[in-house]
Amino acid sequence: MMGFWGLVNGGIGPIVPVKGLVMMADVDFSNVPSTNAWFERQNVQVRCTIAGRAALRVLANICADQTMDSESLALACLRANITALGRGNAQTTDVDWRSVVHAAGEFALEAADFAASAFRSGDAASSARSAARCAAFASDYADFSARSVQLAADSANIADFAAFPPLRSGKGRPFTANLTSDSAAKSDADSLAETPHLFPFPQKPVWGNIEVPAAIAINHQSFLGFLASDPKWEFWHDWYLAMWDGTFTDWDLALEVIKIEDAVRKAGADAVALEIEIRRAKLDVKNAAQSVEKYLKKTPLGFSEGASPMMGHNNPPPDFEEVPVSYAEMQRLVQIVQIVQTQLQTTTPNAQVLETVTKEAEAIQEKSVGWLAKGLGLSRDEFFKTFGKWVALAAVAKLSGAAQWLAGAMEQLYPLIQALWTLLRLLAT
């Protein structure tokens, strides 16, 4: 069976790097048969990455006459694009990719039909429609990936036509935006050919070192202005700009956004924005809970290995008796973390359960923080202002090992409590 490297390298086997030799992908994206043949030899991650990046280059052309009046058009195209690039990211997830990409593609194709009549300029409408169809095809599997790259070139050219009418009469600069788009796609393919072991795709701007066609640069700024005009587009603004610049890293959240149900998406941008914030908060709670759980399993400073009160012993080490919280309360924190993790696994966490355990954890925190602050000669407010330095301050003050361990536990617990309150507020919206 052909391995992954063989697929990335056009099906001819693993690439053996040669010093001083720049590897090149065997494809001419300006040639339809060459493009189709190349895509047929790639695996799904490569297809979606190349097509998704091609779509992202012209996504702003849905603002092809420097206007964006349709939230549904923007949302559909953004959804299709993030789905394609998420699929290409090659992470193991619980995403049902076949149903997700189908829904995203259908939604974007509907938006493309709308774009055909939504703009004042006929050229702008054509460019926007090509951009929307490009996003739709990029989110699908092999059959349409090549078409996405071709549509990106079409959209780039039509956008140039719309922005610079003198081109129609043969005056002014050459009509080459499509070639520029193809060159950017070729650069991506060459990057994969040169370093196939570096997958997911190495971070770099979507246009690489290639100058962005003037019309797309104009539309890019217009699209950013639209996304910055309302807080409900905050995630999409940050995602689009970071992908454009080659700096996006938060794929955990992006994959959660990809999984948002169609019913929420059909409710509009406001509903999607709320769902994104809920999923962001759940991720924050999940990560903070894992940190607390990991810390509570550590041996307290100053005690022998295996003496941690979190490890199931009936009695705590002797100098744990000086701290203000009981051994039972610390064990309760372990249980609270487990309850929170169980709730996060449900589609709709029980807000009442989460609020109850959050208040329990907060009570333990308040008791501990008050005691630690007093030991350091600080007020409660002064102590919280030093968050992130609690263990160091306890060590400098030469507090006991148990006190230093407790300071560390509270440093882990505090972000969890804050994340839980944020999630509860959003669930109540």
- Indicate if the pLDDT at residue 306 is higher than 50: no
226-275 per-position pLDDT tens digit:
999 999 999 999 999 999 999 999 999 999 999 999 899 889 999 999 99
Mean pLDDT of 314-323: 54
Candidate from 6-10, 74-78, 97-101 with smallest mean pLDDT: 6-10
pLDDT, the chain, mean: 77
Give the per-residue pLDDT at 6.
31
Name the residue with higher pLDDT: 251 or 194.
251
Q: How confident is the model at residue 162 (pLDDT cuts 50, 70, 90)?
A: low
Contact between residue 243 and residue 56 where contact means Cβ atoms under 8 Å apart: yes
22-36 per-position pLDDT tens digit:
457 788 877 778 887
C-alpha distance from residue 7 to each of 39, 211, 332 (Å): 10, 30, 52
- Please state, for a pLDDT cut of 70, what percent of the chain lies above it: 69
Dihedral sign computed on CA atoms, order 244, 216, 109, 118: positive
CA distance 292 to 310: 12
Closest residue by Cα to residue 58 from 119, 141, 114, 133: 133
Name the residue with higher pLDDT: 344 or 331.
344
Contact between residue 81 and residue 138 where contact means Cβ atoms under 8 Å apart: yes
- Rg of the chain (C-alpha set): 27
Contact between residue 75 and residue 264 where contact means Cβ atoms under 8 Å apart: no
CA distance 100 to 164: 38
Domain extents in the chain:
4-259, 281-427
Give the per-residue pLDDT at 1.
29
Mean pLDDT of 339-353: 95
- Joined together, the tokens standing for residue 310 give 């979190």
Give the per-residue pLDDT at 22.
40
Give one DSSP letter per residue of 78-131, joined into a string.
Answer: HHHHHHHHHHHT----S--HHHHHHHHHHHHHHHHHHHHHHSSSHHHHHHHHHH
356-412 per-position pLDDT tens digit:
999 999 999 999 999 999 999 999 999 999 999 999 999 999 888 888 889 999 999
- Indicate if the pLDDT at residue 168 is higher than 50: no
Overall pTM > 0.85: no
Give the per-residue pLDDT at 326.
80
- Please state, for a pLDDT cut of 90, what percent of the chain lies above it: 34
CA distance 409 to 415: 11
Dihedral sign computed on CA atoms, order 6, 8, 11, 13: negative
- Indicate if the pLDDT at residue 307 is higher than 90: no
Give the per-residue pLDDT at 108.
73
